[in-house]
A = this chain, B = another copy of it.
Amino acid sequence: MVVVVKNDTDQERLKDLITWLKQFGVQIHITRGTQTSILGLVGDTSSIDMSDVQSFDIVEDVKRIQEPYKAANRKFHPHDTVVEVGGLKIGGGNFQVIAGPCSVETEDQICEVAKRVQKAGATMIRGGAFKPRTSPYSFQGLRATGIELLKEAKALTGMPIVTEIMSIEHLPLFEDVDVIQVGARNMQNFELLKELGKLDKPILLKRGLANTIEELLMSAEYIMAGGNENVILCERGIRTFETSTRNTLDISAIPVIKRHSHLPVVIDPSHAAGLTWMVEPLSLAAVAAGADGLIIEVHNDPQHALSDGAQSLTPDQFDAVMEKIKSLGSFMGKTLSC
């Protein structure tokens, strides 16, 4: 951490600041400039809050040098983390495709979709039981029943289940869920993250619409600080001024996360674009940029889907996209389970 102070500062108050900083166990080196001086802090600064430093009125600026995350940091864990889900590996060169409908609706629907996506090469089934909807008047998901239906699809196909949690109190219902998804809107629901840190089940953590990559890694840190290191990160588009797509897929997030963290990264092209015809080019871009997996919405009858029909592929469309994903994945040297 670097603290910039004005040079015309009262020496007594500078001493106060230095005494306060030293409480955190850091060493301080001073570089005096013409107008400002720079305090260089050496040691572990992760518990110093930049905002507190800034509240000293002699402080002109504070800049963090060290990344504020540890468990998620590649510096302290140079090798890729490989998360295992029911015998399937994700990360470290292993690539998986998770597919299924936005919402679980009926037994027929989820089972039919599960069989079709598995045949096409998907290795995990997704489907929303609890659905975050902008409007209270929209379908809110089948909830507990939805999870039961997912288990039937799993029994039928053997595919692990990926589904979203919206509240801590629903946790008991997720016992047989293989991967618990934290949605974009809950990325900074810190109480929920802390609870998930007590489990040893893999967590699929989606980036919030307005969250930086550093904040995503800090949310992963919440889970990992509790002891659960099975975190899979997911980029699903961020909010920008552009209106021709629902969100803007931040493809750069893949190399940035890979450089700073060892955790696997999957891409959700369905939510990023919000439109079916963009799923293929965005999926291929993600594979080429180094993603460890994809999560794609597929519905057997998108026009009568109870949510997000516009972005769901039909099983036939998914077959065609999967052919290209598998082919490109192999070309890029990925290990696919299908």
Stretch in A48-56, A120-128, A148-156, A172-180 with 4+ CB within 8 Å of B: A48-56
Rounded to whole angstroms, the CA-CA distance of A49 and B51 in the bound complex is 28
Is residue A142 contacting chain B, with contact meaning CB distance below 8 A?
A: no
CB-based contact A51/B307 at 8 Å: yes
Which A residues from 254 to 303 make CB contacts under 8 A with B? 254-256, 259, 272-278, 281-282, 284-290, 302-303
CB-based contact B34/A43 at 8 Å: yes
Rounded to whole angstroms, the CA-CA distance of A299 and B243 in the bound complex is 31
Is residue A31 contacting chain B, with contact meaning CB distance below 8 A?
A: yes
Is residue A138 contacting chain B, with contact meaning CB distance below 8 A?
A: yes
CB-based contact A63/B2 at 8 Å: yes
CB distance from A283 to the nearest CB of B (A): 9
Question: Which of A20, A42, A136, A256 has most chain B Cβ within 10 Å?
Answer: A136
Are A238 and B249 CB-contacts (below 8 A) given A281-B255, A282-B289? no
CB-based contact B210/A241 at 8 Å: yes
CB distance from A36 to the nearest CB of B (A): 6
CB-based contact B135/A68 at 8 Å: yes
Is residue A209 contacting chain B, with contact meaning CB distance below 8 A?
A: yes
Per DSSP, are chain A's interface residues mostly helix, strand or loop, or mixed? Answer: mixed
Is residue A85 contacting chain B, with contact meaning CB distance below 8 A?
A: no
CB-based contact A137/B252 at 8 Å: no
CB-based contact B248/A248 at 8 Å: yes
CB distance from A185 to the nearest CB of B (A): 4
- Which residues from chain B contact A337 at a C-beta distance below 8 Å? none
Is residue A88 contacting chain B, with contact meaning CB distance below 8 A?
A: no
Which of B140, B189, B239, B249 interacts with A251 by CB under 8 Å?
B249
CB-based contact A218/B35 at 8 Å: no
Rounded to whole angstroms, the CA-CA distance of A202 and B53 in the bound complex is 35
Which of B33, B169, B240 interacts with A248 by CB under 8 Å?
B240
CB-based contact B243/A212 at 8 Å: yes
Which of B31, B190, B312 interacts with A29 by CB under 8 Å?
B31
Which A residues from 1 to 45 make CB contacts under 8 A with B? 2, 4, 20, 29, 31-36, 38, 40, 42-43
Can you list 8 A-B pairs with a CB-CB distance of less than 8 A?
Answer: A35-B66, A36-B66, A52-B306, A52-B309, A166-B189, A167-B168, A186-B189, A214-B243
